[in-house]
Amino acid sequence: MKTTEQPKVTWLSYVLLGLAIIMFSGLLTNMSGPWAPLKALDFTTLNGAFGTVSGAKGNFMGSGGTGARGGLLFALGLAPAIILALGIVRVVDGYGGLAAAERLISPLFKPLLGIPGICGLAFITSLQSTDGAAGMTKELYDGDHITDKERTIFCQLQLSADGTITNYFSSIAALFAVFTAPIALPLAVIFICKCIGAALMRFVLALDKSSVEAKA
């Protein structure tokens, strides 16, 4: 369980938590007009993009890579997003932002899914960045903020339709013109199914008497 003293929760904790949620949510990605400068605070914008090798159409990874060499370059491409996400989380946590998230979100997460509210920021991140959220979840577990069982439930919540907002408004956007239902309705169904999947995982773990409640 937690072995270090938690930062004191102040008004600044809530401000930084709210700012982090907005950064990771993707709400600022498509800002335009007078609000366009706010895109500078968006996680995707901050993560940026790799440049291209002179005279080439692709980035440094090239195309057609296979095997261990292709996998290594792919892993290198994931590193900036994870490093940036964990850096932001460390700053927010240092000012008590994660403790504030635990206070605000635990009344929702704890009874429904059996996971603490401190997972809230990682969940928001998972709606836009699969890799950043995975790194944040590992940090929560390694820091003894969540148990092995809570991590399993939380991973199930993320795994179902991970990168929800990003994938929905990019891959599915081409079908919006033929939708007969409000655009937000399928997205709501996705969120409901994510919660159902996590609840089922919680039920399965409850039946498994050998599952570990906490790290030894």
Q: Where are the domains of the chain?
A: 11-207
Q: What span, in angstroms and rounded, lies between the C-alpha atoms of 80 and 85?
A: 8
**In degrees to the nearest 10, what's the CA dihedral of 5, 10, 16, 20?**
60
The confidence score (pLDDT) of residue 156 equals 93
Q: What φ, ψ does residue 59 adopt, rounded to 5°?
A: -90, -165
Nearest to 122 by CA among 131, 113, 110: 131
The confidence score (pLDDT) of residue 3 equals 43
Q: What span, in angstroms and rounded, lies between the C-alpha atoms of 97 and 94?
A: 7
The confidence score (pLDDT) of residue 54 equals 64
Q: Name, in order, each residue with C-beta under 8 angstroms of 204's C-beta and a sequence gap of 6 or more.
A: none
Q: What span, in angstroms and rounded, lies between the C-alpha atoms of 85 and 122?
A: 9
List the chain pLDDT tens, one digit each, 216 residues: 344 466 677 888 888 888 887 877 777 777 777 888 888 888 778 877 777 766 666 677 777 777 887 778 777 877 787 788 778 877 887 888 777 777 877 888 888 899 988 888 888 888 877 888 888 899 899 988 899 999 999 999 998 888 887 777 767 766 766 778 777 788 889 889 999 999 999 999 988 765 445 444
The confidence score (pLDDT) of residue 210 equals 57
